[in-house]
Each structure stands twice: as C-alpha cells, then as structure tokens.
Chains A and B, each alone.
Chain A
Amino acid sequence: MQAMSEPEGQVNLKNQTEAFLHEFFGKGEVFVRQLIQENERLRRELNAAHPARPDNPEIAPASVVEHLVARVTELEALVSRGEQDGFPLLNARIEELETENYHLAAMYVAGLQFHAGATIAEVLRTATEILLNFVGVGAFTIYGVDEERRVLFPIDREGGDIDELDEVPLDGDAPLASLYQRARPWSRGDDAYALDGAIMHLPMVSRARLMAVIRLEAFLAQKSEFIDNDYSLLSMISEHAGIALESAWHRAHSTDVPLQRVTVEQLVGA
C-alpha cells in the first residue's frame, strides 16, 4: 500500500490557508515598514518646513507603530505555532463541516428514499432504517390507522415482540389518540406526547390526515439522547413519510391507465 499523508481536500484547504496567511502577514509587514518610512519622511519634511517649531510632532505616534509591529510578530508566532501543531482549529472546523455535510446528505438520502417508496412496506422500511441507523433509536413500534374501525394497530416493531401489543382506540385518552385529533406533522418544539414512558410519539401525517404513528421506546445502547441533527430527521419522517404513505395507499388502490395528452392537458389546465 502506498502511503498518503492527508485526504486531497484537506491538503488543498490547508495549503490554501497557509498560502493566504503567509501572503496576509507578508503584506502586513511590508505595510508597517512603509508606514514607518512614510512617518520618517513626513517628519523630516515638517522639520525642514518649520525649523523653529518647538516640538517635532509625529504623523503616526511611535506607540501605534510599535503596537502594529508587535501585533505582526504575535500573529506570525501564531501561524508558526499552528504549523507545528497541525492547525488544530482548522482541523476541528473541517470535522465540523464534514459532520454538517453528512447531516445534509442524510436528509437528502432520507427524503429521496421516502419519495422513491412505492409501497407502504417500502416507506415503513425506510422510516425504520432512518430511525435505527441515522437517529439511533433501537426500540420502537409503528402503528397504522384503521379509519373505519377507529383504532391504531401495531404494524411493525423493532426491539420487541409485536404480538404483545394491543390496538389503541382513536377516540380515547391515550397519547397516541391525541395525535389523531391533532393531525399535523411534528416539528422541534412540539409536544413529544411521551406521557406513557415513551421517548416520544411521532405522527406521520399527510396534510391533515394521520397515516401512522411511531412510538419511540428506547435508544440504542450507545446513545442516550437526541442531538441537534436528529430533530430535523424526525421532522422529515413525520412529514415526508406521511405523504409517502398516503401516496402508496392511493397507488395500492388505483388502476393504471395509459397516459393521454388530452387528460394530461386537462389536469395541468393547458
């Protein structure tokens, strides 16, 4: 295996940063020297023009020039120290950006998967994979809605036996039932409806129609609480999975017909 020192992106960024800092401080040093020279020149001119003047005022006070020179020296030392330590602040920032990029990519992938799901099983599988792999919830139950019988029924469970669970009446007092009455997607800051020992109850909603509810019961062993990025994924599940479930439900009850120009034009109002 051939050794490599750094990923190309990091090397490029570091090289560019070093080059910028060297150029910046190089220019700063030149500027201060020019300032000192200009100060000396003007002072000589003033002295020549007003030889009888009792004091010889400086255009830029010596203290200011000294301060600037000291600052340049200090910043040069900072750059030098950064080079020796491997730019810890820069590396920390790169890691931060990498994590943020990863989160954005996770949101993109999750959204894509939901909208690619053609069946209810595919949509629920995506929700399960995101909760397990991206958020880190290890135990949860997905309840479907039976609008005719007015109950929520357990449809899939991770980390437990689904046969242990009962149906939940939609018109009762249970937290799950309140989600049916509320019928809007969850977003950060909303009530978690976790009254019965659950971490939270996540509704999956399409417009004002509750399609399913996920009862989050326990984190994976290595996780103890949500982090910032989890909330946007939970919110995405609540909204996008609900829409995807309703589309899948419609698709399951639809009849495929050939595309027709007349009908398409009517539908788009052309």
Chain B
Amino acid sequence: MTQETPDRTSRFNVLVVEDSPPMRSMIVFALRGLAGVTVVEADDGVDALRKLAKEDFDLILTDINMPILDGLKLIKRLRADVSYERVPVIVITTEGAAEDRQRALALGANAYITKPIQPPVVTKTVRKILGLD
C-alpha cells in the first residue's frame, strides 16, 4: 500500500517496515504532515527487501521484533549490500534497553526511537535525516 501526501511532487520515498497493522497505520499517520514524502509499507523484513528491489528509497523506518526477518537482520542485510548500504535507517521499537539501542546503532541504524512513539519525535528525526531542516 502506498500513501502519498497531498503534495504531488514527492521528493522522498520512505519505507515503513512494521508487522503490526495498527502500529504501521500510526507511523504512516505521523509522517503524513511531511510534504513531498511518499510512504510505502512493508509487513516484515522480507517484504521490505522485496520492495527495496523494486524501487529506490531515501529512508527506511523499521521495527525490530518481526516474524520471518526481524529489523536487526534487515539492517545487517542492508549494510552488507552496496545498493542499500547508504540508505538511512530509523529503528522504531518497544525495546528500550540501552544495550538494544547500542546493538542497533552498531549494526548501522542511524536513529533509534522507542514506542509508544511521540509524533513530533518521529517527524523531527525524519526531517533531520532527510535534511529537511
């Protein structure tokens, strides 16, 4: 499913990887105010890789705990592939322990946000990484 903001001149393609449909909806909702951003949704890491193979993305937001291919394995795969090694990744997860954060950042995540999310935190982080500020 792809949701485009009212601004038809999309300049940024963002992939949201989250297995929980209500949570995925809320992340998409939080991003809706960012003009020029198109959001594509993926159910898990494997679905994300499938979508990455079809189109280019400027940013990936991913959960950690997902079936089939979790968020940490997804980051590992991305960083090992020259095609995606530079695509920024923001982790959005329930795992709030310091060692979880460190593990994700060590694997190559660019930012780490814990749930329950605060929309301003998500949009500020996305804006910073996309260079919208």
Contacts and interface: CB of A to CB of B under 8 A. Distances in A.
B23 A129 contact: yes
A119 B24 CA distance: 21
Interface in A58-101: 95, 98-99, 101
Interface in B97-133: 97, 114-116, 118-120, 123, 127, 130-133
Contact of B7 (A5, A8, A129): A8
Q: Which of the listed residues B25, B116, B131 has the most CB atoms from chain A within 10 Å of its own CB?
A: B116
Contacts of A8: 5-7, 33, 35-36
Interface secondary structure of A, over-half rule = helix
B118 A220 contact: no
Given A2-B11, A10-B33, A136-B94, 17 more contacts: A1-B12, A1-B58, A2-B36, A4-B11, A4-B36, A5-B132, A6-B132, A8-B5, A8-B33, A98-B119, A98-B123, A129-B23, A132-B115, A133-B26, A220-B94, A221-B95, A221-B96
Interface in A105-155: 105-106, 109-110, 113, 126, 129-130, 132-136, 138
A220 B96 contact: yes
Interface of A: 1-10, 95, 98-99, 101-102, 105-106, 109-110, 113, 126, 129-130, 132-136, 138, 220-223
A104 to B, nearest CB: 10
Contact of A3 (B22, B33, B132): B132
B29 A1 contact: no
A184 to B, nearest CB: 26
B96 A222 contact: yes
Contact of A133 (B11, B20, B29, B33): B20
Contacts of B96: 220-223
Given A221-B96, A221-B97, A7 B123 contact: yes
29 contacts: A1-B131, A3-B132, A4-B36, A5-B133, A8-B5, A8-B6, A8-B33, A9-B35, A98-B123, A102-B26, A102-B29, A102-B30, A102-B119, A105-B26, A105-B29, A109-B22, A109-B26, A109-B29, A129-B23, A133-B26, A133-B115, A133-B116, A134-B115, A138-B94, A220-B96, A220-B114, A221-B95, A221-B96, A222-B96
Contacts of B97: 221
A162 to B, nearest CB: 18
Contacts, number: 91
Interface secondary structure of B, over-half rule = loop
Nearest to A116: B21
Contacts of B36: 2, 4, 8
Contacts of A102: 26, 29-30, 119
A221 B22 CA distance: 22
A99 B116 contact: no
Contacts of A105: 25-26, 29
A44 to B, nearest CB: 57
Given A98-B120, A105-B29, A133 B22 contact: yes
